[in-house]
Amino acid sequence: MGCGNLGGIGSAPEFFGEGESEEEAFVLLDRAVELGINYLDTANAYGGGRSEATIGKWLATKDSTVRDNLLISSKVGMPVGPGPNQRGLSRRHILEQIDVSLYRLGVDHLDMYIVHEPDPTTPLEETIDTLDSLVVAGKVRYIGASNLAAWLLTKALWVSDIAGGHRFEWIQNSFNLVEQRNQTEVLDVCRDQGLGFTNYSPLCGGLLTGKYKFDTAYPEGSRMTKRPEPYMRYWNEHSFARLDALATAAADFGVSVAGLALGWLYHHPDVTSSILGPRRPSHFDPMEEALGLELTETQWQEIGDIFEESRD
């Protein structure tokens, strides 16, 4: 479960205080646990810290068995303030922010700690050495990275191996039916090195839900009314023709468009898990469809081929 909308909408300061309220968040978190979801993904920058704090308050209402069954992951690197020392992957910033995250979440360690994005202003060796020290200190169990290109991931693994320290075990990048091509090399590295891969944006900003139409206004309150920029390159007749084909295939399987898109990811041999950010209880329905969907290898390939140009 992606928790970027708890108390805000991602890391954007202009949306702090929006997103789900504490009461709404508790309902979503309870539903996630009921469904067997055991991975909570957050970040120090989400909602200006409100996401972590909300999860911490929710955990405080539960007994220890709930925490024991959860994998809690947070991130560091995005700006958390206007100052030059309030962002990035320097030793100073990481050591400061891990304690802030642990305090907000009310836990003594993170199961996964992820660098949110590359920091070209800090030597990679400094970042990796600092993350290694957190594992040694017991504050973090495993380390991972988000938004890394294949060449930088390979370099990071080499740096860790040369130093004999803990290496990135998990990669979290954007990946879905529409955006297949740009992760081919990263998935190759993950497969070769035995790394886990979690994709965010599994529904491509809502495009893979079928709720958008090429020549129709955006639905009120949708992501496209707030942050359309990352998805505008897909806003053309060609893309929507492919989305119509996906809708036809979903009808054949008796599931929603979102359920089929998630089911395709669930059957992907290189995807360990997908991060979904439900904003209301009904958003869990496509997840349940995906978990119950059975696809043969041929069917899985045919669904991916609908967006073949985005993979080649």
CB 143 within 8 A of CB 131: yes
User: Is the model's pLDDT at 55 over the cut of 70?
Assistant: yes
Unique residue bearing structure tokens 């009904």: 282
Each residue of 184-194: b (16+ CB within 10 Å) or e? eebbebbeeee
**Percentage of residues in the chain having pLDDT higher than 70:** 94
Q: Measure CA 304 to chain center.
A: 21
User: Is the model's pLDDT at 83 over the cut of 80?
Assistant: yes
User: Is the model's pLDDT at 79 over the cut of 80?
Assistant: yes
Cα 29 from Cα 23, distance rounded (Å): 10
User: Is the model's pLDDT at 312 over the cut of 50?
Assistant: no
For each of the domains in the chain, give its residue range(s) and CATH number, in order of start.
1-174 (3.20.20.100), 203-312 (no CATH)
Q: What predicted TM-score, i.e. pTM, was given to this entire model?
A: 0.91
Cα 49 from Cα 76, distance rounded (Å): 11
Cα 276 from Cα 158, distance rounded (Å): 31
How many residues are recorded in the chain?
312
Residue 136 binned pLDDT confidence (cut-offs 50, 70, 90)? very high
Over the stretch 244-272, which tens digit does the pLDDT of each residue have?
Answer: 999 999 999 999 999 999 999 999 999 99
Question: Left, alpha or beta for 164 (phi > 0: left; psi -120 to 50: alpha)?
Answer: left
Cα 47 from Cα 25, distance rounded (Å): 13
Determine phi and psi for 2, rounding to 5 degrees. -80, 130
Rounded mean pLDDT, 295-305:
96
Residue 226 binned pLDDT confidence (cut-offs 50, 70, 90)? low
Average pLDDT, the chain: 92
pLDDT at residue 43 in the model: 96
User: Is the model's pLDDT at 10 over the cut of 80?
Assistant: no
DSSP labels for the chain? -B-TTBSSSTT-GGGTT-SB-HHHHHHHHHHHHHTT--EEE--TTGGGGHHHHHHHHHHHTS-HHHHHT-EEEEEE-S-SSSSTTSSSS-HHHHHHHHHHHHHHHT-S-EEEEEE-S--TTS-HHHHHHHHHHHHHHTSEEEEEEES--HHHHHHHHHHHHHHT---EEEEEEE--SSS-GGGHHHHHHHHHHT-EEEEE-TTGGGGGGT---TTSPPPTT-GGGT--GGGGGG-SHHHHHHHHHHHHHHHHHTS-HHHHHHHHHHT-TT--EE----SSGGGGHHHHHHHH----HHHHHHHHHTTGGGT-
